[in-house]
Amino acid sequence: MRVRSILLGAYVSIALAFLLLPVAIIVLFSFNSGANLSFPLRGLAGHWYGTALHDPKMVSALENSLIVGAGMLAVVALVGTPAAWAIARGRFRGRGLLLATIVAPVALPGLFIGIALLTFFASIHVHPSLRTVVVAHAVYTLGFYVVIAAARFSGLDAALEEAAWTLGAGRWAVARLVVWPLVRPALFAALALCLALSLDEFVITFFVIGAQNTLPIVIFSNVRSVVTPEINAVATVLLLTSWLSVGVAALLIQSSARRRRVALAEFVEVGG
């Protein structure tokens, strides 16, 4: 039993290294003072970040990524929240089907979603642009958001709403005073995750974007042609923005959980 445990630990360590190594190397190279893309490193410097930030193409790509992200968040929040509520609380026939349709894009290769949307837009004569990218990202991340939001809604005790009604609160007051404060952290966390996914998204974006670029697309075209060293800096920036979003999400979830835990600890101390 002990041997098995040690083996498992060793395996997991190797697996972790496997997962982190490639990414770590990119981050490492972004600080390379030399222009080479292979080892050994010439020295540590941060000047590639400077180059990247002054490159107009990079900057506009970053802007576009953020614009798309913001737009997508708005769409997902507006469409996804009522949908998640309906799925969690509703009792209508097509509930399972609705959920399946929303979640489907998550399981399908970006290829299919990309060309599906591309042909769709073509057939309704909408030209590819940042707007189509917003729609595409929304379709893709909606599945994640709705699943998380619906789970949170289901976990909300229905008795709380009933209690609020019996105390005289109308539906809007209940939503505002009871439901919203309780689901807020989870919903924001879900949105943060969607943002991370949107920033990282390349496969679908490639199909539906027009002449502009988002960050991953810029990296792609760079990689395909001549690789300039600043690409490492750009890639690291992309990584950091995604990780930042995930970090925010984790913090949101942790803080609400911690509040409950602290309250419980205080309770135990006081002795009930």
Partner 1 sequence: MAAFLVAPAVHLGLTSFWRTAYFQTTHAWNLQQYPEILTQSGVWQTMVRSVWTGLVVAVVTTAAALPIAYYIRFRTGVRKVLVLAVVITAMFSSYLVRIYAWRTLMGRDGALNWFLTTVGISKHGFTFLFYNRFGVIITLVHIFLPFAVLVLLAALEGVYVDVLEASRALGARGDQMVRWVVLPMIGRGLFAAFAFTFILSAGDYVTPQLVGGTSGSMTGTFVMLEMTQLGDYSHGAALSLALLGTLVVLSACVYGAGRLVRTVER
Partner 2 sequence: MESSAVSLRGIRKEFGSVVALDDVTLDIERRQFVTLLGPSGCGKTTLLRIIAGLETPTAGDVYFGAERVTHRPPQARPLGFAFQRYALFPHLTVLENVAFGLKVRRVRAKERRRRAMEMLELVHLPHLANRLPSQISGGQAQRVALARALAPEPSVLLLDEPLTALDLAIRTAMQEELRRLHRDLGTTFVYVTHDQGEALTMSDRIILMRAGEIAQDSTPFELYRHPSSLFAATFVGEANVWVARAVDDAADGETCRVEAASLPRFSGRAVGAVRRGAAVSYVLRPQRITSAADAGVPGACTISATVTDVLPRGARALVLAATSGPEVRLELEAAEAESLGRGAPLTLAWHPADAVVFPEESSDADSSPVVTSEAETTTV
Residue 217 CA to residue 231 CA, distance in Å, equals: 12
Collapse the DSSP code of 125 into the 3-class scheme (helix H, G, I; strand E, B; otherwise coil) and give the result: coil
Residue 47 CA to residue 103 CA, distance in Å, equals: 43
Q: Residue 225 binds which one of partner 1, partner 2, none, with CB within 5 to 8 A depending on kind?
A: none
- Minimum distance from CB of 256 to partner 2 (Å)? 9
Give the interface segment with partner 1, choosing from 152-160, 177-185, 216-224, 264-272 (CB under 8 A). 216-224
Where are the alpha helices (H) located in the chain, listed in sequence order?
2-30, 47-54, 56-89, 95-107, 110-123, 130-154, 158-166, 171-174, 180-200, 203-208, 215-224, 230-270
45 binds partner 1 (CB under 8 A): no
Contacting partner 1 (CB under 8 A), which of 53, 66, 67, 239?
239
Residue 141 CA to residue 122 CA, distance in Å, equals: 22
Q: Residue 246 binds which one of partner 2, partner 1, none, with CB within 5 to 8 A depending on kind?
A: partner 1
Give the interface segment with partner 1, choosing from 47-55, 77-85, 161-169, 255-263 (CB under 8 A). 77-85
**Which residues in the 100-119 window bind partner 1 by CB under 8 A?**
101-102, 104-105, 107-119
**Which residues in the 117-136 window bind partner 1 by CB under 8 A?**
117-120, 122-123, 135
Question: How far from chain centre, in Å, is Cα 49?
Answer: 24
Residue 103 CA to residue 97 CA, distance in Å, equals: 10
Interface residues with partner 2 (CB under 8 A) are 157, 159-160, 162-170, 173, 177-178, 181-182, 260, 263-264, 266-267, 270, 272
Contacting partner 1 (CB under 8 A), which of 53, 66, 67, 98?
98
